[in-house]
Structure 1
Amino acid sequence: MREGRQAQRAGSTEEACEAYEEGLGLWRGPVLEDLRDGPIVNGFVCWAEQSRLECVEWYVDAGLELGRHRELVSYLYAQLEELPLHEAFYRQLMLALYRSGCRADALSVYQSARIVLSDELAQEPSAALRGLHHAVLVDAPELELATV
């Protein structure tokens, strides 16, 4: 993760994406699953799981920046299966689908997010997710992949 962030800050998105992917490849499932019975271990587990989640988000953001939106669609669906309350994955999936020419699917993902968040948390999607929904509805030019 550290190498990925350094590469990202240096403007090397390709290198960052590779570093994130390599870091995620080291993940081997639930952290200390059989030893979770104290505050120190539980704290470490929470930190490790949040770090992994952060790495997944950065990996996807880097991939989207590189134009790998089609490759990321199934990956993001899998992430949402695992963590259906994580709004960032809905946002990233909507953008990946939109850039893949699947506008209707992107809008459907927003509706799914609304239903899940409403049913599970009695909340509406965040302003960022609502903003992306609106941008997809109006085909906002800022959703297109930036070209250099």
Structure 2
Amino acid sequence: MRYEILGPVRVVDKGTVSSISARKIETLLVALLIRSDQVVTADRLIAEIWGERPPRRATAGLHVYISDLRKFLRRPESPASPIVTRPPGYLLHLGADELDAHAFVRLMYDGRAHARDLRHEEAADCFQRALSLWRGSVVGDLTGGPIVDAFLAWLAEARLECTELLLEAQLQLGRHRELVAQLFSLAAEHPLRETFYRQLMLALYRSDRKADALKVYQSARRTLELELGLEPCRALQDLQRAILVADDVLLGVHAAAA
């Protein structure tokens, strides 16, 4: 069985896709998946489901939702439920089942290892496969408490990092011309993310667009000054100086041959 939360929440079992229509039970499942193979206390689950103002009979309601979730996850070939009662709360045992968020993290880890070994083609493939697991917003439009919210914030950052790593690997492979449009879009969407400015400047310079690369630096500088009162980071400043003197090191092995 495969649990998927990198998009609307669903469970895939032998080709059959199932989802939960009851939002509170869906929140319960997501919280247990995020903390899979760990005990989550009843109090924390109640906070995820009802927030700071739980109903008077919240504990009884949680028992009902746990029962409903066990029924939803029941499989004829496996009498044991993955939802285990473990005082002071509950635990979702993954076992041989999969969670797409875990697969995403494994692919990012493998991609980083390939990048460190200068295997950029393999690194790009891992990062691309990791990003392809996303089917939309994490857990759809589901809202939760501290467990879900912290996880959503972490995954949003991880997705951006994976995008940066993919683009870095593609730049190493000399694919600068095909990246320019995407990097313009990413820099506009994330105006305080200096890595996208750096990658865009490098892609433009390698595409024989030195003036445009320097304009990107000036735009980044104005944005950072206006929003944060800061100068661009050292990496951006160093890149601007290297572009001004046409440092051949900026071309890279693949780019020089492109």
TM-score, normalised by the number of residues in structure 1: 0.92
Higher helix share: 1
Aligned to 2:229: 122
> What's the CA shift for 1:107?
0.2
Question: 2:243 & 2:145 partners in 1: Cα distance?
Answer: 46
For residues 1-148 of structure 1, the aligned pairs below 5 Å read 1-32=108-139, 34-146=141-253
Q: For residues 56-93 of structure 1, give each alpha carbon's deviation from its aligned partner in whole angstroms, at most 9, with x where no partner exists.
A: 11101100100000011111111112211100000000
Question: 2:117 & 2:239 partners in 1: Cα distance?
Answer: 27
Question: 1:55 & 1:141 partners in 2: Cα distance?
Answer: 28
Q: 1:83 to 1:65 in 2, by over 3 A?
A: same
Runs of 4+ deviating beyond 4 Å: none
Question: 1:103 & 1:29 partners in 2: Cα distance?
Answer: 36
Between 1:51-60 and 1:23-32, the stretch displaced more is: 23-32
> What's the CA shift for 1:33?
5.3
Q: CA RMSD in A?
A: 1.7
Question: 1:85 & 1:31 partners in 2: Cα distance?
Answer: 22
> Residue 242 of structure 2 aligns to which amino acid in structure 1?
A
Aligned to 2:34: none
Identity across the alignment (%)? 51
Question: 2:209 & 2:237 partners in 1: Cα distance?
Answer: 18
Q: How many residues are paired up?
A: 148
> Residue 31 of structure 1 aligns to which amino acid in structure 2?
V
> What's the CA shift for 1:30?
2.7
Gaps of 5+ in 2: 1-107
Question: 1:132 & 1:11 partners in 2: Cα distance?
Answer: 21
Gaps of 5+ in 1: none
